[in-house]
Amino acid sequence: VATEVGVGEFDLIRRHLQRVGAARADVVLGVGDDAALVRPRQGMELALCVDTLVEGVHFHPGVAAADLGHKALAVNLSDLAAMGAEPAWATLALTLPDADEVWVAEFAAGFSALAGSVGLALVGGDTCRGARAVSVQVAGQVPCGQALRRRGAQPGDRVVVSGTLGDAAIALSHCLDPQGRMLPAGEDAAARQWLLNRLHRPSPRLALGEALRGVASACIDISDGLLGDLGHLLTESELGASIELSWLPLSAQALAVAGESAARAAACAGGDDYELCFTISEACTMKLTTLSARCGVALTVIGRIESEGGLSLRDADGRRVTPLATGYQHFAR
Amino acid sequence: VATEVGVGEFDLIRRHLQRVGAARADVVLGVGDDAALVRPRQGMELALCVDTLVEGVHFHPGVAAADLGHKALAVNLSDLAAMGAEPAWATLALTLPDADEVWVAEFAAGFSALAGSVGLALVGGDTCRGARAVSVQVAGQVPCGQALRRRGAQPGDRVVVSGTLGDAAIALSHCLDPQGRMLPAGEDAAARQWLLNRLHRPSPRLALGEALRGVASACIDISDGLLGDLGHLLTESELGASIELSWLPLSAQALAVAGESAARAAACAGGDDYELCFTISEACTMKLTTLSARCGVALTVIGRIESEGGLSLRDADGRRVTPLATGYQHFAR
């Protein structure tokens, strides 16, 4: 257990993590005291969550600091989106192998750009030495009783996903080598760059999440692969679902770079999508077009909720398919 | 970047981190959805903070899991105590080299016992693989405008500390070898055990923090050594202080194991005390006896706030002393 003396840590935190994200009137006291002080709005519930990204597990050692700053926040915002909550405040625990100020400045810039764009303030930070890892905790606000949950789907509801699925997994498997270096590109360079952007700079579907309050019957964010995460929603709702694999939304870029078979497999079980998977009554499906236009993201019906448990998958010919993999797991057994 | 498949992670989290700490009526939704939902009390500000403990930096590899569970929460509760806030909810990011369920169960038990005793609920958790580290985020509540801050000390105020200082640092330097194994004890075995308990099981001064609302003019928790942390309070208050080193409260155990010189040095600059350092007007010093009795912790005046900046230290003979070290730093420069 090291005991070292200096002024480095405090300076590092102060300089780069002090004014990150939006300036909010409800932040009474930000970074720099024993704790931050914030004032929640009346009539709101708080949505609280935490997600950690560890070097070598969730990101390659060479990833750009600004990308990591964006992503560490984005994965948490995706959880808030899945609850229908509006982002408010975040704290950050940053573990670094050394006090590399350029790295911290770039990390903070990536984090701050996303935070500012969604109105979130960073109110607390802790920096310490160790294997590189980023843990972000966010607090969002949602009117009492209106949060979206995994539980609540009804038989007959349609299963809907936002955006396209599998892009990040294809970027990992087709655009980067195991060390995270870019593989040589041909005519598909633009498609590869787009896929890498999907991996490194996910867009949390916050506007969609808020718009789904009172509309979706259940919701989850897809971080560990569609089938695994949909499985959680079904478990919590105590229902099953039939999914049409041929309906899964694939990007033109994933199809161009990886081909249909790999793209579809990635859409089923690849991680890092950060899209929303939600259920909606049949009557509400007519709202999807408007919702999609309003929130600026594609919405695709991929199946329906069944009263019988389990996940039933069908291919384009109507044959039942058994998935090989159902999600990303850090602890395989 | 690993892609593994299984059900381990979710099971691990569910089984051991699901009902940790107090059952609170204001927890609408706990562990197990994309985010937890909680309802803050009206008229309260939230105090938010995060602290990370990294193996090899903040704790020895061999530390008992239950002790680590206690301490990871305690260091955060100490921050809430320093704000005068009442603990409410926590989230936990646990990074582990492997899915050792016995370890997780013991960790959870240590965390839960402390959380339960202070009325805090664990509402969210994230478990992932990597070098062992624990990041805990806590949210506390404090009536609007009543939080204690580092800023606010006035010239002439007395500087007060709770408990005894330097015990954890003496435990590290005198009771454990560099690998964290216990050094052989003689007649002082009980004293050594008491010091190790101070290192591994700090008692956050929550009752004191709450009792200091409206009484203390400024407050900070001592986690990185008295002189360093008092320095932060002085910087924020834009004032100085004169401290009588001979007044620092030393435990009989630290004196017995390490001798007066080492014990006093540890009280000045050793880390991991988790006591409070606060300032109080001269008129309020008469309240200290009652406060001490009510909160069950010794309170010792160690000096006074001066209008001139800087920290002036005096030994028992009234001579000015220059400290060699002023605090614990993870990034020395």
Residue of chain B nearest A9, judged by CA positions: B331
Q: Is residue A63 less than 8 Å (CB to CB) from chain B?
A: no
Q: For residues A217 and A201, what is the distance between their CA atoms, to the nearest angstrom?
A: 28
CB B278 within 8 A of CB B209: no
Q: Is residue B23 less than 8 Å (CB to CB) from chain A?
A: no
Here the ipTM equals 0.92
CB B104 within 8 A of CB B16: yes
Q: For residues A240 and A226, what is the distance between their CA atoms, to the nearest angstrom?
A: 14
Residue A302: pLDDT above 50? yes
Amino acid at B146: Q
Give the helix/strand (H/E) hosting A66: helix A65-83
Tokens of A111: 């984090």
State pLDDT tens for residues A173-226.
Answer: 999 998 899 999 888 999 999 999 999 999 999 999 999 999 999 999 999 999
State pLDDT tens for residues A43-91.
Answer: 999 999 999 999 998 999 989 999 999 999 999 999 999 999 999 999 9
Size of interface A-B (CB pairs under 8 A): 290
How would you write A246-279 as a 3-class SS string?
A: HHCCCCHHHHHHHHHHHHHHHHHHCCCCCEEEEE
**Is residue A286 left, alpha or beta, with left meaning phi > 0 and alpha meaning psi from -120 to 50?**
alpha
Tokens of A324: 């090989």
**Is residue B32 left, alpha or beta, with left meaning phi > 0 and alpha meaning psi from -120 to 50?**
left
Beta strand B310-314 with B320-321: parallel, antiparallel or unpaired?
A: antiparallel
What confidence score (pLDDT) does residue A78 get? Answer: 98
Burial class, A4, CB count within 10 angstroms (exposed 0-12 / middle 13-18 / buried 19+): middle
What confidence score (pLDDT) does residue B3 get? Answer: 36
Long-range contacts, stretch B182-188, CB < 8 angstroms, 24+ apart: B188/B256, B188/B257
Please list the alpha-helical segments (H only) found in B220-287. Answer: 226-237, 252-269
Order of strands, sheet of A158-162, starting from the edge strand that comes earlier in the sequence: A216-222, A275-280, A158-162, A299-306, A240-244, A310-314, A320-321
What confidence score (pLDDT) does residue B332 get? Answer: 34
CB A300 within 8 A of CB A249: yes
Optimal mutation site among A11, A12, A16, A33, interface B, most CBs of chain B within 10 A: A33
Mean pLDDT of A139-150: 98
Q: Which residue has the tokens 């007066």?
A: B260
Q: What is the pTM of this model?
A: 0.92
Which DSSP letter does residue B31 get? B
Give the helix/strand (H/E) hosting A47: strand A44-54
Please list the alpha-helical segments (H only) found in chain B. Answer: 8-17, 65-83, 101-117, 167-170, 189-200, 206-211, 226-237, 252-269, 288-295
Q: Tell if the CB–CB gap between B150 and A34 is shorter than 8 Å.
A: yes
Burial class, A260, CB count within 10 angstroms (exposed 0-12 / middle 13-18 / buried 19+): exposed
Give the helix/strand (H/E) hosting B159: strand B158-162
Tokens of A50: 């935490």
DSSP code string of A8-29: HHHHHHHHHHSS-B---TTEEE
What confidence score (pLDDT) does residue A330 get? Answer: 43
Query: How far is CA A84 from its chain centroid?
Result: 13
Q: For residues A171 and A193, what is the distance between their CA atoms, to the nearest angstrom?
A: 9
Mean pLDDT of A19-34: 92
Which SS3 state, helix, strand or coil, does residue A116 take? Answer: helix
What confidence score (pLDDT) does residue A300 get? Answer: 98
Nearest Cα to A278, choosing from A207, A242, A229? A229
State pLDDT tens for residues B156-166.
Answer: 999 999 999 99
What confidence score (pLDDT) does residue B16 get? Answer: 84
Residue A110: pLDDT above 60? yes
Question: Which residues make beta-bridge pairs with A301?
Answer: A160
Chain B hits for A57, CB-CB cut-off 8 Å, are 1-2, 128-130
Torsion sign, CA atoms A61, A65, A67, A69: positive
Q: For residues B251 and B263, what is the distance between their CA atoms, to the nearest angstrom?
A: 8
CB B77 within 8 A of CB B87: yes
What confidence score (pLDDT) does residue A8 get? Answer: 55
Question: Between residues 252 and 311 of chain B, which touch chain A (CB distance below 8 Å)?
Answer: 269-271
Q: For residues B88 and A219, what is the distance between their CA atoms, to the nearest angstrom?
A: 26
Query: How far is CA B296 from its chain centroid?
Result: 17
Order of strands, sheet of A44-54, starting from the edge strand that comes earlier in the sequence: A121-129, A86-96, A133-143, A44-54, B36-38, B27-29
To the nearest whole number, what is the mean pLDDT of chain A? 91
Residue A4: pLDDT above 80? no
Q: Is residue A114 less than 8 Å (CB to CB) from chain B?
A: no
Question: Which residues make beta-bridge pairs with B142?
Answer: B45
The torsion defined by the Cα of B206, B211, B217 and B222, in degrees rounded to 10, comes to -20
Amino acid at B216: A
What confidence score (pLDDT) does residue A121 get? Answer: 97
Q: Is residue A99 less than 8 Å (CB to CB) from chain B?
A: yes
What confidence score (pLDDT) does residue B5 get? Answer: 34
Q: Is residue A101 less than 8 Å (CB to CB) from chain B?
A: no
Question: Between residues 122 and 181 of chain A, which touch chain B (CB distance below 8 Å)?
Answer: 123-131, 133, 135, 137, 139-140, 142, 144, 147, 149-151, 169, 172, 180
Q: For residues B9 and A333, what is the distance between their CA atoms, to the nearest angstrom?
A: 9
Q: Greater confidence, A1 or A120?
A: A120
Torsion sign, CA atoms B297, B303, B309, B311: negative
| Cα of A37 to nearest chain B Cα, Å | 5
What confidence score (pLDDT) does residue B238 get? Answer: 95
Interacting residues of A141 by C-beta distance below 8 A, sequence separation 6+? A40, A41, A44, A45, A46, A47, A85, A86, A88
Amino acid at A151: R
Which SS3 state, helix, strand or coil, does residue A208 take? Answer: helix
Nearest Cα to A160, choosing from A253, A255, A284? A284
Question: Which residue among A95, A99, A332 places its CB closest to the CB of B6?
Answer: A332
Question: Which residue among B8, B34, B327 places its CB closest to the CB of A5?
Answer: B327
| Cα of B318 to nearest chain A Cα, Å | 27
Residue A325: pLDDT above 90? no
| Per-block mean pLDDT, blocks of 10 residues, chain B (333 long) | 43 75 94 93 96 92 95 98 98 89 93 98 89 95 97 97 98 93 92 97 98 98 95 95 97 97 95 97 96 97 94 91 57 35
Determine the length of chain A. 333
Amino acid at B292: S
Q: Greater confidence, A4 or B80?
A: B80
Q: For residues A329 and A324, what is the distance between their CA atoms, to the nearest angstrom?
A: 14
